[in-house]
Amino acid sequence: MRTLRIAQEGARALAAHKLRTFFMMAGTIVGIAALTVIMAVGKGTEKKVMKRVNAFGTHAIMITAGGGKGFSPPQAGITTLRLEDAEAIRSQVQGIDVVAPFAVRRDSSTKAGSNQLQTIVMAVGADWHDAWEWYTTDGEPITAEDNSTMARVCLLGTLSASDLFGSQNAIGEDIQIGNVRFKVKGILEPRGTSPMGDEFDRRIVIPLTTGMRRVFNQDYITNIRVTVKDSRQIESIAKEIRQLLHERHHITPPRDDDFAIFSAADIAKMARGISGTLTYLLIALAGLSLLVGGIVLMNILLISVGERTKEIGLRRALGATQGDVFHQFLVESLSVTILGMVAGSVLGWVVSITLARLTQSPVVISWESFALAIGFALVVGVFFGVQPARRAAKLRPVDALR
């Protein structure tokens, strides 16, 4: 109860000096607002990253024919990536789940009746479905038998189906890819947009053997998709595969790779982009303003101890103990940082939401950031409040009253 009465005295002192209280609060407001924005933007970015990574496959590694930086489509004319490479990866690399070689041809001309579609055709093995965890909603998937018999069957994405057949049921219908006629045996699950920005759902999928021999007329493949059992090993496995392909393709360092490897980890790095560095910068800013704010707070409190020596002496004469004076000053500094924290959080939320509207990028407001703000407010309040409070408590009543 006594503590409560003394806390009230502190609150009254703050209320009586509104401008001073505001200046003491300013640093905390800015710091906490910055912290809130960082957390909101950071979490938003992480959500975007996770979406990209999930679309790519959290356990996936993609090997693409042709070198080059960035996650790009296979380079035309590179004939060195072969089925034997996929076989070697399957038999020599540990920790692998599925190895799915496939061949892609962009801008393939396809048509059904009078409807034409220029799109991506993928020639795939039976375990491609498992490697992508991408199956059919209607009809049947591509099977091992389709590959061994070089069957002329295909799967359509939902968009390619509607482009070629409108609202009509496509299964069992014929389409033409180049000069070859295929029968539609299934419709793929909708999957949205690829990490590279094209529509997964506007693809056409055929058996790998049929594609290589009858459509593309090539003895090489363009991609191998590998999934790993444990996503934590993804980077070391990607490295191992790179070494294996170096050996198999007789590549020694000065020569450029004739393939590119991308893992889910690389996709995450790409998606984070500069926001990572930006986040560190903003964290530094928030930390700095909390620190500066805390120092300002401490100095104003120290000055106010000086200005209020008479008041302190009077309180001591009237029966306040050193502990009472200490508590009052600590309550004052804590109230300032807690009020500043609330104001800073609200400001941070407003800025985050505005930022989300303006930049069209996701921003996530979380309770964690509020909890962190409370933590910071308490730490700053206590850390920078203790010294002034101690100085106030140490004043000798006779000296303070003189």
Partner 1 sequence: MIQLEKIEKTYTAGTVQTPVLKGISFSIHAGEYVAIMGASGTGKSTLMHILGCLDKPTGGRYRLDDIDMVNLDDEALSHLRNGKIGFVFQQFHLLDRATALRNVMLPLIYAKEYPADAHQRAEKALTAVGLAERMSYKPNQLSGGQQQRVAIARALITDPAILLADEPTGNLDSKSGTEVMAIFQRLHRDGRTIILVTHDRNVADHARRVIVLKDGQVAEDRLVAQPRDAESELAAVVDEEVRP
**Short-list 145, 102, 140, 147, CA closest to 122:** 102
When the beta carbons of 9 and 201 are compared against partner 1, the nearer one is: 9
* Residues of this chain that bind partner 1 (CB under 8 A): 1-2, 5-6, 9, 12, 16-17, 310-311, 313-324, 396-398, 401
When the beta carbons of 318 and 358 are compared against partner 1, the nearer one is: 318
User: Shortest Cβ distance from residue 314 to partner 1 (Å)?
Assistant: 5
The region that residue 94 occupies, defined by phi over 0 for left and psi between -120 and 50 for alpha, beta otherwise, is beta
Contact 85, 261 (CB under 8 A): no
User: Shortest Cβ distance from residue 16 to partner 1 (Å)?
Assistant: 4
When the beta carbons of 281 and 398 are compared against partner 1, the nearer one is: 398
- The DSSP bridge pattern shows strands 180-188 and 115-124 to be unpaired
User: Shortest Cβ distance from residue 322 to partner 1 (Å)?
Assistant: 6
**Short-list 343, 341, 337, 339, CA closest to 294:** 337
When the beta carbons of 133 and 311 are compared against partner 1, the nearer one is: 311
User: Shortest Cβ distance from residue 310 to partner 1 (Å)?
Assistant: 6
User: Shortest Cβ distance from residue 397 to partner 1 (Å)?
Assistant: 5
When the beta carbons of 30 and 325 are compared against partner 1, the nearer one is: 325
- The DSSP bridge pattern shows strands 259-263 and 203-207 to be unpaired
When the beta carbons of 362 and 397 are compared against partner 1, the nearer one is: 397
Q: Is 203 exposed, middle or buried (0-12, 13-18, 19+ CB in 10 A)?
A: buried
**Short-list 152, 176, 171, 151, CA closest to 161:** 171
User: Shortest Cβ distance from residue 300 to partner 1 (Å)?
Assistant: 17
Q: In sequence order, which residues have a C-beta less than 8 Å from that of residue 330 and are 6 or more positions away? A: 381, 382, 385, 386, 389
Backbone φ and ψ for 157, nearest 5 degrees, come out as -70, 165
